[in-house]
C-alpha cells in the first residue's frame, strides 16, 4: 500500500469521515493490521 493512501485513510478515520472498517479497506489492510497501524500513529481505535 502506498504511504499516501495509508495516510489518507488514517486522516479520514481520525476525522470520523470513515468507519474503522472503511478506513482499513481503503488502506488495503486487514482489521488487525489496521488496528496495529492506528496504535503506531497514536490514534485510538473506536470500531
Asked if 26 and 5 touch (Cβ cutoff 8 Å), the reply is yes
CA angle in degrees (0–180, nearest 5) for 11-35-18: 35
In a domain, 36, yes or no: yes
In a domain, 9, yes or no: yes
For the whole model, what pTM was predicted?
A: 0.87
Consecutive 10-residue runs of the chain (47 residues): their mean pLDDT? 83 97 96 97 88
Residue 19: CB atoms within 10 Å: 13
Q: Which residues contact 6 (CB under 8 A, 6 or more apart)?
A: 27, 28, 29, 37
In a domain, 45, yes or no: no
pLDDT the model gives residue 4: 85
In a domain, 46, yes or no: no
Split into its structural domains, the chain has a count of 1
pLDDT the model gives residue 3: 77
Closest CA to 25 of 5, 3, 4, 39: 5
pLDDT the model gives residue 1: 43
What range defines the domain where residue 11 resides?
3-40
Amino acid at each position: 500500500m502506498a504511504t499516501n493512501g495509508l495516510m489518507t485513510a488514517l486522516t479520514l478515520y481520525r476525522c470520523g469521515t470513515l468507519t474503522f472498517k472503511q478506513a482499513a479497506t481503503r488502506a488495503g489492510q486487514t482489521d488487525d493490521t489496521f488496528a496495529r497501524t492506528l496504535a503506531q500513529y497514536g490514534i485510538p481505535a473506536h470500531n
